[in-house]
Chains A and B, each alone.
Chain A
Amino acid sequence: MRDILRRFGILFAFILLMVVLAFLSDSFLTVNNLLNIARQVSINAIIAAGMTFVILTFGIDLSVGSVLAFSGAIIAGLLSRGHPLVVGIGAGLLVGGLIGLVNGLIITKGGVQPFIATLGMLTIARGATLVYTDGRPITGLPDAFVWLGAGEIARIPVPVVIMTVVFAASYVVLTQTVLGRYIYAIGGNEEATRLSGVNVAFYKTLAYVISGALSALSAVILTARLNSAQPTAGMGYELDAIAAVVLGGTTLAGGEGGIAGTLLGAFIIGVLNNGLNLLNVSSFYQQVVKGVVILLAVLLDRRLR
């Protein structure tokens, strides 16, 4: 029993939350609302997927929100000037990945702690966004691009499709591949992993590249959905992403946890946001409730371990 609870504790918490909200609000458990939640969740979930890689290596990436804003601005800038879709999106993902690369190099080659390195990058990327956009939103995006945020494939919102692909791929990478093994090993015991002949610096850096690229991917969705790039987009997103990862059972100490939990964590946060909105809870109280629920869930989880 304890074993089952331990493995599925967060799942139970999620189901409980769903049941409670279904009782409290008639409009909660409708197909439309659920698809809506999934669409809203997708942005944080995709960032959190990248964050999972980083946290598993015993790192942290605080720059994700700013990376989102900056790559969003790059994408919108290129598209609004008439460049083709692939060029705009490709450039955005490249920029995200490159920022991740810089993060990784500062951490592995420069020996700077991940918290500090990515905190610095958080400020730099935000500043760069403001410089690039001159503090104003970038609009005038093509319809084909907007479809990525607002469109549907067989009634499923496109962002949800993208999120599903990202999580399926991350799951496969973390559980089936050499890269996944190394990520867990590095987070579990970096020195022992190094002594096993693994190029630790390379794989750690790769985790930050993945995180940066996935932040850029969520920038695609957010920019498309808003039909514009906002210079202030993604502020505070790092906290929601970290919360999703930790709720999902991945420890900040690295080496233990997984991507499936992160998806669940992101959904708990999303459902909570949605439910509190439906119940007309003021946004001030929403923050308090959200924080309390996150702490309770994590406490419960640690208790069971």
Chain B
Amino acid sequence: MEGISKSFPGVQALRDVQFEVQGGEVHALVGENGAGKSTLMRILGGVHQRDAGEIHLRGQPVEIPSPVYARMLGISIIHQELNQVPALPVAENIFLGREPRRAGGFVDWKTMYARANTLLQDLGLPIDPRRRLGTLTVAEQQLVEIAKALSVEADLVIMDEPTAALTVEETERLFRFIRDLRPRGVGIVYITHRLEEIFTIADRVTVLRDGQYVGTYAIGELTMDGLIRLMVGRQLTEKFPKEPVAAGAPVLEVRGLTSRGRFTDVSFTVHRGEILGIAGLIGSGKAAVAHAIFGAIPVDSGEILVDGHPVTIRSPSEAIAHGIGLVTEDRKRLGLVLGMSVTANITLPVLPELETAGFVRRREEAARVTQAIRDLDMAVASPEQPARNLSGGTQQKVVVAKWLQTRARVLLLVEPTRGIDVGAKVEMYRLMVDLARRGVGIVMISSELPEILGMSDRILVMHEGRITGEFPRETATQEAILASASGRIHRA
């Protein structure tokens, strides 16, 4: 790809960008949120049309007018934003639009399910191809999306943040698959914000910044710090700007909380100014705990206390009234109203604070939103831009900004840095410290061990719906947490 430019109303997403992948190579594409990575790949996948530039495939200039055409050219793409049909079974999602046929054009269901089964097994996924996709977790859906891309005999596989929702083990499995593809001459484009992955899997890396091409480098000639500097244009001093905050009185206490089929007998206390990390593998029920406290899923037994007083929370609005906020892990489905503006999304939970006789005080609202955009350094063309048009990481920032508006006393953060870039991550952590200093109790539920270790004052580990370990910051190690996460009980 050469001289590629693309603009959307109000944004120049790409300006004169070049990019090249060779067969048998894993080529990483990195850059901050909104740098234009997904846009560049969507052009290659036939989703967007470029304004200028040329695309060559196997030395020949090509036009890619549609996704179907891209697939015919041997280009397969795993989109950052899952685009699947929740109501259909897994197998039908995998083969959507290219179902195996029998004579007469009828879908050959048997072959389809058999092939889906093999595919999922090859990937080591214990997923029944008959299950409806909507019943899977985000991580499982992501794995299905990967299976789908790999089921096409493609010469070029584009992976746009495939591991954002995956655990270490699942990521390892994906890497094994990628290593298998490489000798077959398949070219792979790999987009990620987990930069350490690049050093594990990639051969070369191309860096974009603000829609412009910065450079392409062999992985051997780069260090992590060097790569970050190329991405953000400056040196990042510390990855985890953790500062000790004296913990105050308990602000949230959970006693014996149980939600059948999800988690059992979960008890913990969060103090004012404390960051409590909850680690655990996918399926450990750690996200469900947050949703239950927030009143979004039913609780069968147990007690919740806020500021020492028992409270009943049957709905999110009651949780909010008690000063609890929840940043969900699935921004598209649970976090945002994609068709609405950035402004409307950010103020959605606090409109009652911003109204006079039912009318929204627009000026005050605009001021708050402008402040939030500045605080979190969001890449938005205008506050009136629909959330749908934002880059994935910027969308995540909008979700976070929304809950910062509520001035909650307890913030439940589920995978708060999923899909956001290195620079923004540090901003996010700084924000957490800031909130803690203001006396907010923070529960950070995350699959990213480094951030759990780097930011938490105390760490709980969950396994199969139960708490299996508790570690103070000082003695927590990666090994100990992983051991608890796989079921070994540990109390320090």
Question: Do the beta carbons of A198 and B348 come within 8 Å of each other?
Answer: yes
Question: Do the beta carbons of B316 and A196 come within 8 Å of each other?
Answer: yes
Residues of A with C-beta under 8 A to B338: 188-189
Closest partner residue, chain A, to B388 (CB atom): A188
Residues of A with C-beta under 8 A to B89: none
Residues of A with C-beta under 8 A to B123: none
Question: Do the beta carbons of B360 and A185 come within 8 Å of each other?
Answer: no
Closest partner residue, chain A, to B320 (CB atom): A197
Q: A3-B9, A198-B348 are in contact. Are A181 and B360 (CB under 8 A)?
A: yes
Q: A177-B360, A178-B355 are in contact. Are A194 and B316 (CB under 8 A)?
A: yes
In Å, the complex CA distance between A61 and B448 comes to: 47
Shortest distance from the beta carbon of A83 to any chain B beta carbon, whole Å? 32
Q: Counting CB contacts under 8 A, is A14 at the interface?
A: no
Q: Counting CB contacts under 8 A, is B116 at the interface?
A: no
Question: Do the beta carbons of A193 and B9 come within 8 Å of each other?
Answer: no
Taken residue by residue from 346 to 358, chain B's Cβ proximity to chain A (1 for < 8 Å, 0 otherwise) reads as 0011011001001
Q: A176-B360, A195-B294 are in contact. Are A256 and B339 (CB under 8 A)?
A: yes
Q: A177-B360, A178-B351, A195-B326 are in contact. Are A185 and B340 (CB under 8 A)?
A: yes
Residues of B with C-beta under 8 A to A189: 333, 336-339
Closest partner residue, chain B, to A188 (CB atom): B337
Scan residues 136-156 of chain A and give those whose CB is less than 8 A from a CB of chain B: none
Q: A176-B359, A195-B328 are in contact. Are A255 and B339 (CB under 8 A)?
A: yes
Q: A3-B9, A176-B359, A181-B360 are in contact. Are A196 and B402 (CB under 8 A)?
A: yes
Taken residue by residue from 457 to 474, chain B's Cβ proximity to chain A (1 for < 8 Å, 0 otherwise) reads as 000000000000000000
Question: Do the beta carbons of A255 and B340 come within 8 Å of each other?
Answer: yes
Shortest distance from the beta carbon of A185 to any chain B beta carbon, whole Å? 5
Residues of B with C-beta under 8 A to A3: 9
Scan residues 318-344 of chain B and give those whose CB is less than 8 A from a CB of chain A: 319-321, 326, 328, 333-340, 344
Looking at A178, A182, A191, A255, the one whose CB has the most chain B CB atoms below 10 A away is A178
Question: Do the beta carbons of A191 and B333 come within 8 Å of each other?
Answer: yes
Question: Do the beta carbons of A193 and B352 come within 8 Å of each other?
Answer: no
Question: Do the beta carbons of B319 and A197 come within 8 Å of each other?
Answer: yes
Question: Do the beta carbons of A197 and B317 come within 8 Å of each other?
Answer: yes
In Å, the complex CA distance between A196 and B350 comes to: 9
Q: A197-B316, A255-B339 are in contact. Are A192 and B351 (CB under 8 A)?
A: no
Q: A193-B348, A195-B328, A198-B317 are in contact. Are A179 and B358 (CB under 8 A)?
A: yes
Q: Counting CB contacts under 8 A, is A184 at the interface?
A: yes
Q: Counting CB contacts under 8 A, is A199 at the interface?
A: yes
What class of interface size applies to chain B in its complex with A? 20 to 34
Residues of A with C-beta under 8 A to B139: none
Question: Do the beta carbons of A184 and B294 come within 8 Å of each other?
Answer: no
Residues of A with C-beta under 8 A to B348: 181, 185, 193, 196, 198
Closest partner residue, chain A, to B335 (CB atom): A192
Question: Do the beta carbons of B296 and A181 come within 8 Å of each other?
Answer: no
Q: Tell me which of A179, A192, A256 contacts B336 (CB under 8 A).
A: A192
Looking at A178, A179, A197, A198, the one whose CB has the most chain B CB atoms below 10 A away is A197
Residues of A with C-beta under 8 A to B355: 177-178
Q: A179-B358, A195-B328, A196-B348 are in contact. Are A188 and B340 (CB under 8 A)?
A: yes
Looking at A176, A198, A256, the one whose CB has the most chain B CB atoms below 10 A away is A198
Taken residue by residue from 129 to 164, chain B's Cβ proximity to chain A (1 for < 8 Å, 0 otherwise) reads as 000000000000000000000000000000000000
Taken residue by residue from 161 to 196, chain A's Cβ proximity to chain B (1 for < 8 Å, 0 otherwise) reads as 000000000000000111101101100110111111
Shortest distance from the beta carbon of B328 to any chain A beta carbon, whole Å? 7
Shortest distance from the beta carbon of B141 to any chain A beta carbon, whole Å? 16
Shortest distance from the beta carbon of A206 to any chain B beta carbon, whole Å? 12
Residues of B with C-beta under 8 A to A199: 315, 317
In Å, the complex CA distance between A193 and B352 comes to: 14
Residues of B with C-beta under 8 A to A178: 351-352, 355, 358-360
Closest partner residue, chain B, to A176 (CB atom): B359
Closest partner residue, chain B, to A190 (CB atom): B337
Scan residues 294-316 of chain B and give those whose CB is less than 8 A from a CB of chain A: 294, 296, 315-316
In Å, the complex CA distance between A182 and B347 comes to: 11
Shortest distance from the beta carbon of B100 to any chain A beta carbon, whole Å? 31
Closest partner residue, chain B, to A189 (CB atom): B337
Question: Do the beta carbons of B359 and A177 come within 8 Å of each other?
Answer: yes
Shortest distance from the beta carbon of B368 to any chain A beta carbon, whole Å? 14
Residues of A with C-beta under 8 A to B296: 194-195
Residues of B with C-beta under 8 A to A184: 337, 339-340, 344
Scan residues 398-424 of chain B and give those whose CB is less than 8 A from a CB of chain A: 402
In Å, the complex CA distance between A195 and B325 comes to: 9
Closest partner residue, chain B, to A255 (CB atom): B339
Residues of B with C-beta under 8 A to A188: 337-340
Q: Tell me which of B9, B333, B349 contacts A196 (CB under 8 A).
A: B349
Question: Do the beta carbons of B319 and A192 come within 8 Å of each other?
Answer: no
Q: Tell me which of A176, A185, A195 contacts B344 (CB under 8 A).
A: A185
Residues of A with C-beta under 8 A to B340: 184-185, 188, 255
Shortest distance from the beta carbon of B291 to any chain A beta carbon, whole Å? 9
Residues of B with C-beta under 8 A to A185: 337, 340, 344, 348
List 8 interface pairs A-B (beta carbons < 8 Å), by A numbering: A181-B344, A188-B337, A189-B337, A191-B333, A195-B296, A197-B349, A255-B339, A256-B339
List residues of B whose CB falls within 8 A of some A CB.
9, 294, 296, 315-317, 319-321, 326, 328, 333-340, 344, 348-349, 351-352, 355, 358-360, 362, 402
List residues of A whose CB falls within 8 A of some B CB.
3, 176-179, 181-182, 184-185, 188-189, 191-199, 255-256
A197-B317, A198-B317 given; 19 more Cβ-contact pairs under 8 Å: A3-B9, A178-B358, A178-B360, A181-B344, A181-B360, A184-B339, A184-B340, A185-B337, A188-B337, A189-B339, A191-B333, A193-B348, A194-B296, A195-B294, A196-B316, A198-B349, A199-B315, A199-B317, A255-B340
Q: Which 10 A-B pairs have the closest CB atoms?
A: A188-B337, A197-B320, A197-B317, A196-B349, A189-B337, A196-B348, A188-B339, A178-B351, A255-B339, A177-B358
